[in-house]
């Protein structure tokens, strides 16, 4: 039998079922079926969506539990303290290095001046040596 169409709506009732609608019980059954079927289908869809969300939540909880199980039972206290000590030591070494660099930078202009004076000092020393040599030669006569 084919599906009957009543006022443009398709219902899974046969022509015979439509004839039975004249009976109040059958009429009530038809009404309940036509009203409740869409709501039942919608409810099934909601349940399916909720089951999917529940599965996703279970996966998320599993991931969280795995992460929690990776935390050492004694926590990270000792490791964190060791890391803090190492960080403080590294900070002090960095500050010492920065101070040494600052001292070097402070002395650089004076050292540059000394370097610039070296050729002049050499020239002066050479003149004095020549003068001394000339005087020595002169005194020998």
Chain segment 80-92, per-residue pLDDT in tens: 888 888 999 999 9
Chain segment 44-99, per-residue pLDDT in tens: 889 888 988 888 888 888 888 888 878 777 767 777 888 888 999 999 998 898 88
Nearest CA among 30, 33, 34 for reference residue 18: 30
pTM, to two decimals: 0.36
What whole-number distance in Å separates Cα of residue 45 and Cα of residue 37?
12
């Amino acid at each position: 039998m084919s599906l009957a169409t009543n006022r443009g709506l398709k219902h899974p009732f046969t022509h015979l079922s439509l004839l039975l609608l004249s009976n109040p019980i059958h009429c009530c059954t038809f009404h309940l079926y036509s009203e409740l079927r869409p709501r039942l289908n919608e409810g099934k869809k909601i349940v399916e969506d909720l089951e999917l969300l529940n599965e996703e939540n279970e996966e998320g909880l599993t991931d969280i539990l795995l992460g929690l199980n990776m935390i050492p039972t004694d926590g990270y206290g000792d490791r964190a303290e060791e890391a803090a000590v190492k960080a403080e030591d590294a900070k002090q070494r960095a500050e010492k290095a920065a101070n040494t660099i600052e001292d070097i930078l402070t002395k650089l202009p004076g050292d540059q001046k000394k370097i610039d004076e070296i050729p002049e000092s050499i020239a002066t020393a050479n003149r004095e040596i020549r003068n001394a040599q000339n005087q020595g030669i002169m005194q020998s006569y």
